[in-house]
Amino acid sequence: MKAVDRKAGARRPAGFSRAVRSVTSFLMVIVLTYLGLLAVTFFIGRVMPIDPVLAIVGDRASGELVARVREEMGFNKPLWQQFYIYIGKALQGDFGTSVLTSNPVMQDIRRAFPATLELATLGIFIGVLFGVPMGVWAAVRQGRWVDQVVRVLGLVGYSVPIFWLGLMGLVLFYAKLDWVGGPGRLDVVYEYTLTNVSGLLLLDAAMARQWDAFANVLSHLVLPATLLGFFSMAYISRMTRSFMLHELSQEYVVAARAKGLSEARIIWRHALRNAMVPLVTVITLSYAGLLEGSVLTETVFAWPGLGLYITNSLQNADMNAVLGGTIVVGSVFIGLNLLSDLLYKTLDPRTRIR
């Protein structure tokens, strides 16, 4: 009995040390990835053929003024020292002041990001809601007309430019049929009656019980969100089909059929459950892609989100805003990648620490 206790006690420190090493390596990956992101954005800002000082003071400013502003901004210091200062300010959320809006960049990002978050969240919800069942159906009916239709829809989602779909959607559903709201997030009549609390206008309207404003927000949101949902649905359905074909060819499916289990239970409870392990990563990264890749959609629909903010800043040589938005987008990618890793370990017991 004592020998068993001694063995158990010997195993516990070994397991604890493995857990500590795993957590340490996990944190190191986060730190190194974020430092790499900061380094990339810093050096991109320095090699761009845009002088941030001239963007602030203007081309006609005197040499003395340019030199004084350059010294105040620290651009006269060695590059390594500039990078050190840049990291310190970025970790505090200080990305400088926007030339375009004269506001702190982080303040502008806090205002713009909820709009992108609302749009991307509804888009990924639509993509998952339709993409996963379509992929499962295509895998079960492999080679039949259903499979061909799903594959064609996926091809269309990949091939057709999303800005063209957005323009055609506005012409048809807004200009011709008047089924949806036009560009922007809200009609002017509601801008001064709806209190913006969280930045998520659907949530704010529902919490305030302003259902007419809620309907108006939804009418503006449904078309761009559907387009993003169609784009993500194409990828999710394709990957779901691939994962399901792999699972349906496994021996446990043959054994389940031999035991007399229903086909629906085999597909939805067993095969799809195993396919969800890699599919979670696909969905998470698709969501991250919508959060940073909706620039064209926001531009077409005049959606005041982060993508439109970065685009306007780039067109006006506002590098503080561009680099600040890039860091935020990169941070979102890092966070969602870490979330997908955690979910992967939760769904797949084989990847857990023993």
Integer Cα distance of 250 and 278 in angstroms: 16
Q: Within 13 Å of residue 306, how many CA atoms lie on the same side as its CB?
A: 29
Q: Both tokens of residue 100?
A: 């375009």
pLDDT tens digits for 298-341? 888 988 888 888 888 877 777 788 888 888 888 888 888 888 77
Mean pLDDT of 211-229: 92
Helix pair angle (105-140, 319-347), 10° resolution? 40
Structure-model confidence comparison of residues 160 and 222, the more confident one: 222
Mean pLDDT of 165-189: 88
Using 50, 70 and 90 to split pLDDT, how confident is the model at 1? very low
Question: What does the DSSP assignment read for 222-279?
Answer: HHHHHHHHHHHHHHHHHHHHHHHHHHHTSHHHHHHHHTT--HHHIIIIIIHHHHHHHH
Q: Which residue in 45, 38, 39, 36 sits closest to 318, CA to CA? A: 45
The H-or-E segment that residue 88 falls in is helix 79-91
Using 50, 70 and 90 to split pLDDT, how confident is the model at 221? very high
Using 50, 70 and 90 to split pLDDT, how confident is the model at 236? very high
pLDDT of residue 18: 66
pLDDT tops 60 at residue 10: no
pLDDT tens digits for 138-165? 998 888 888 888 888 888 887 888 888 8
Structure-model confidence comparison of residues 47 and 301, the more confident one: 301
pLDDT tens digits for 191-215? 888 888 888 889 989 998 899 999 9
Lowest mean pLDDT among 6-10, 252-256, 321-325: 6-10
Residues in CB range of 133: below 8 A, 6 or more apart: none
Neighbours of 252 (CB within 10 A): 12
pLDDT of residue 133: 93
pLDDT tens digits for 48-76? 666 666 666 666 777 777 777 777 666 77
pLDDT of residue 130: 93
Using 50, 70 and 90 to split pLDDT, how confident is the model at 354? very low
Does domain 107-351 correspond to CATH entry 1.10.3720.10? yes
Q: Where are the domains of the chain?
A: 2-91, 107-351
pLDDT tens digits for 80-95? 787 888 888 888 888 8
pLDDT of residue 4: 47
